[in-house]
Amino acid sequence: MLSIDIPGFGSLELEHLVCDFTGTLSVDGSLLPGVGALLDELAASLKIHVVTADTFGRAHEELAGRPCTLTVLSGQNLDVQKERFVMALDKDRVVAVGNGANDRCMLRVSKLAIAVAEGEGCALDALLNADILVRSIHEGLSLLLNQKRIVATLKV
């Protein structure tokens, strides 16, 4: 669990990390270099969940052996499906990371929401529902390993 006290924002007791895969942890379906090691390190303090529509069909292969649970969604209303996933975990204990329009609802309901503008861009709806915007998934995951960065960004 990660405990972070942010003046003016509140106290966070985070138990779950919920990440999108396509465009967040990966570009063109390939896990970005160095992301696996960051997930391994974060698994010591957070339960990691990857929730994705898996546009490129490579999430299982790319995440094999990583300390995370993978949920591949299908059908319509992916944004609502991701929101329900977060709600089932206890949204007040979730940090969510995503970049796409279908991430907007999970970002909106999570206690802490990080939007990523990696190689596939960041949808405006994702950005508008995030607490923090980062330029890369490496920056986003590193925030969770160096919590004072989150405090510096969000304190009022």
Answer left, alpha or beta for residue 68, where phi above 0 means left and psi between -120 and 50 means alpha. beta
Cα–Cα distance for residue pair 85/107, rounded to 1 Å: 11
pLDDT on residue 118: 86
pLDDT at 137: 97
- Cβ atoms of 39 and 48 within 8 Å: the answer is yes
Would you state the pLDDT for residue 100?
95
Residue length of the chain: 156
> CB of 144 within 8 A of CB of 42?
yes
Compute φ and ψ for 7, nearest 5 degrees.
Answer: -55, 125
Distance CA 42, CA 49 (A): 12
pLDDT number for residue 119: 81
Neighbouring CB atoms inside 10 A of 43's CB total: 14
**H or E element at residue 82:** helix 78-89
The reported pTM is 0.95
- Spell out the per-residue pLDDT of the chain, length 156, in tens: 999 999 999 999 999 999 999 999 999 999 999 999 999 999 999 999 999 999 999 999 999 999 999 999 999 999 999 999 999 999 999 999 999 999 999 999 999 999 999 888 999 999 999 999 999 999 999 999 999 999 999 999
